Amino acid sequence: MGTITIKDVAKLCGVGVSTVSRAINDHPDINPETKQMIMKVIEENNYIPNNSARNLKRSDSKTIAVLVKGVDNPFFGKMIRVIEEEIRKKKYSMVVHHVEAQEGEVAAALELERQKKLCGMIFLGGFYSETSEDLAKVKVPVVLVTSAKPQLEANAGYSSVSVDDVKESYRMVDYLCELGHERIAILTATMYDESVGKLRLQGYKKALQKHNIEINENLIKYMKDSEDYSMKCGYILMKELLESKEEISSVFAISDSLAIGACRAIHEAGLGVPEDIAVAGFDGLDIGAYYTPTLTTIVQPVEEIAKEAAKILFHVIKKKTIHTHKFFEGELVVRESTNEKDSAH
Amino acid sequence: MGTITIKDVAKLCGVGVSTVSRAINDHPDINPETKQMIMKVIEENNYIPNNSARNLKRSDSKTIAVLVKGVDNPFFGKMIRVIEEEIRKKKYSMVVHHVEAQEGEVAAALELERQKKLCGMIFLGGFYSETSEDLAKVKVPVVLVTSAKPQLEANAGYSSVSVDDVKESYRMVDYLCELGHERIAILTATMYDESVGKLRLQGYKKALQKHNIEINENLIKYMKDSEDYSMKCGYILMKELLESKEEISSVFAISDSLAIGACRAIHEAGLGVPEDIAVAGFDGLDIGAYYTPTLTTIVQPVEEIAKEAAKILFHVIKKKTIHTHKFFEGELVVRESTNEKDSAH
């Protein structure tokens, strides 16, 4: 097959080289029909853009593995999407590997490392129980995303990107207290959680303490081992809470999915959100804006977090930097699911 | 490093070889603490199970690419999860590649094929405009999943797995008609769609015709080019429909995400679902069971579809079979969002 150049493509299409370039590079400033025509000509003539040609050397295929903890969490779905884009921009490819809730992330990572020629790994979520020493066994650079371990060591041998879970959770519960709520329940991770669950529970306790509200263990609902950050789990935990007859005026769920399940359980009990029980979530999933009632939540800057994770990973791979720990600010978004205590009564 | 066998691991753990095997193979019939202990020993001693050892030959790393059309669609999220499991079971690895709404799937596939040593590809969604001839340019075996092209040829050069979109859509709209609805709107894909959007619109028209209801173009809301199967899009289309002042008693949205956006728009207009407007979706997303009102929908058998797609792909790769087209039955699940016309009035 003869080699066709970008100039040939331009000639065949009757457009300038810069227009072909815009079409190839997904530049917004191009007529969609022109772009379609150019892409068709490119395909028909098997034209390979320069940057792709460079990747033809299959021997040095560069792969980044993304390890995701937990079953199809929509929060991670969006993040994987952004990370993939960043990885693709750098001409690396991405392997996604889901880690079962019960499976050890480090064991899974080591297995992956054995099987593939990896340049780096990004962990999404997880780290319920593994130690930094475990993690150090992974030889390629690692960035933990929203799976911050409680103790971050400057020389930890890995990087991390997340919001400050204690602070954001404190921000939400402080807000609920300011609304006049005192009987605030929390739907949280398992009792043994060493990751964001533990941190968000800390933030909850800290906010209650600030407002001189005694911590009531009956209002802390932990997931069981087999449960995850799902709507179903939120529904089950909330039902148990309602059946326990504990007086509650609001619920802080440590993920939006949990919060939505809780809203449904409250609705089925014949109660209203927020009139009877206010509900707040965490994450900032799209559904929070379309659920009825719309959901008060902490919006995590998903895009920024994902982009930064990829950026740090590539810096470490290229030895431009040592491992770093970066925190992003969350945003308290107040919607319909929370109101002032007794404001409706 | 010395080679440690499964027997050594069993001895170190004080358990039988079969227990170690159960731990490695994620067998449910094992005490979680025992399993954790075994996995720790395995990790500490760098024991490599046989099946992994076989994969150590990096040179013949076998990769399947999964091309996903559209931005983080939760329906595909679940599917990717299942496909990954199936691929992993066969000791292949999976590369996920998202295709932009405007990007051609075949162009993306050819590009991927150039860059990687692929054994096969699975397309999720898509095929808005590309032809079978375009698809034939892809050299590795291809399975299309829920992206059925209207004309399926026995010798098409690719396999496909999906529900029968015309039939399932007909089933839903027929159900709405049986409830007494006549002014049934549809929220559907773009006017030029050649994939599931076109098929589901066909099913809608067919059901109306059966019930002698004239097709009213004003009740057919097409996505714009820039839109996708998202809650936001459903919200926008429904708002336009409400503003058009067309009389509507029910809406069939061709995806659950669109349906949820529509419910929100109806709620914001001060109307109730289903009292004022009944809403039905398509897909069977988890959120449909936790939304208020819960959503009437066609549940697609996601797991079965995904497993079958992987099964067919491996059969074709191993030359055990030629390309096949397989349809699964959907299930009409009636929930709160639909009721008999005027039953509440």
Reading the block at residue B215, the tokens are 């097709």
Highest-scoring range by mean pLDDT, A43-47, A51-55, B52-56, B136-140: B136-140
**pLDDT of residue B254 exceeding 90:** yes
Bridge partners for A186 per DSSP: A220, A252
C-alpha A199/C-alpha A187 separation (Å) is: 13
| Average pLDDT value for residue range B218-228 | 90
Highest-scoring range by mean pLDDT, A181-195, A320-334, B45-59, B199-213: B199-213
CB of B267 within 8 Å of a chain A CB? The answer is yes
Strand, coil or helix: what is A253?
A: strand
For residue A2, what pLDDT is reported? 45
For residue B1, what pLDDT is reported? 37
C-alpha B335/C-alpha A27 separation (Å) is: 44
Reading the block at residue A134, the tokens are 């475990």
CATH code: domain of residue B17:
1.10.260.40
In this structure, the answer to whether residues A157 and A73 fall within a common structural domain is yes
Residue pair B238/B153 in contact by the 8 Å Cβ criterion: no
B344 within domain boundaries: no
In this structure, the answer to whether residues A103 and A14 fall within a common structural domain is no
In this structure, the answer to whether residues B30 and B74 fall within a common structural domain is no
- ipTM reported for the complex surpasses 0.90: no
C-alpha A237/C-alpha A243 separation (Å) is: 10
* Domain membership of residue A70 as a residue range: 61-163+301-328
A338 within domain boundaries: no
In this structure, the answer to whether residues A280 and A197 fall within a common structural domain is yes
A1 within domain boundaries: no
Q: Which of B290, B291, B337 to mutate to test the interface with A (most CBs of A within 10 A)?
A: B290
Label residue B91 by pLDDT band (50, 70, 90). Answer: confident
- For chain A, how are helix, strand and coil distributed in percent, rounded to 5? 45, 15, 40
Q: Which residue has the higher pLDDT, B299 or A30?
A: B299
Residue pair A230/A285 in contact by the 8 Å Cβ criterion: no
For residue B235, what pLDDT is reported? 98
| Average pLDDT value for residue range B207-231 | 94
Residue-wise pLDDT for A137-163, tens only, equals 888 999 999 876 655 565 668 899 999
Contact check, Cβ <8 Å, B260/A32:
no
In this structure, the answer to whether residues B216 and B180 fall within a common structural domain is yes
For residue B115, what pLDDT is reported? 67
| Average pLDDT value for residue range B299-313 | 96
In this structure, the answer to whether residues B218 and B309 fall within a common structural domain is no
The model's pTM is 0.80
In this structure, the answer to whether residues B229 and B321 fall within a common structural domain is no
* Strand spans (E) along A82-156: 93-99, 118-124, 142-145
In this structure, the answer to whether residues A236 and A323 fall within a common structural domain is no
What is the share, in percent, of chain A residues with pLDDT greater than 70?
85
Residue-wise pLDDT for B184-211, tens only, equals 999 999 998 878 899 999 999 999 999 9
Q: Mean pLDDT over all residues of chain B?
A: 85
Rg (CA), chain A: 24
B335 within domain boundaries: no
CA A344 from centroid of its chain's CA atoms: 35
B208 within domain boundaries: yes
For residue B212, what pLDDT is reported? 97
The length of chain B in residues reads: 345
Number of domains present in the structure of chain A: 3
A29-51 per-residue burial string, b: 16 or more CB within 10 A, e: under 16: ebeeebbebbbebbbeeebbbee
List, in order, residues 6 or more apart from A31 with CB less than 8 Å away: none
Residue-wise pLDDT for A190-244, tens only, equals 998 878 899 999 999 999 999 999 999 999 999 998 788 899 999 999 999 999 9
N- to C-terminal Cα separation, chain B: 78
CATH code: domain of residue B123:
3.40.50.2300
Q: Mean pLDDT over all residues of chain A?
A: 85
For A94, the closest of B74, B96, B287 (CB atoms) is: B96
Domain end (from B18, B35, B54):
B54
CB of B218 within 8 Å of a chain A CB? The answer is no
In B, which residues are within 8 Å of A44 by CB distance? Answer: none
In this structure, the answer to whether residues A314 and A295 fall within a common structural domain is no
Lowest mean pLDDT of A124-133, A306-315, B335-344, name the range. Answer: A124-133
**pLDDT of residue A45 exceeding 90:** no
Highest-scoring range by mean pLDDT, A20-29, A154-163, A291-300: A291-300
Q: Smallest CA–CA separation between A211 and chain B, in Å?
A: 33
Reading the block at residue A49, the tokens are 């853009």
B73 within domain boundaries: yes
In this structure, the answer to whether residues A100 and A206 fall within a common structural domain is no
Reading the block at residue A266, the tokens are 């409250």
A341 within domain boundaries: no
In this structure, the answer to whether residues B71 and B112 fall within a common structural domain is yes
B50 within domain boundaries: yes
| Average pLDDT value for residue range A266-278 | 97
Residue pair B89/B68 in contact by the 8 Å Cβ criterion: no
In this structure, the answer to whether residues B172 and B296 fall within a common structural domain is yes
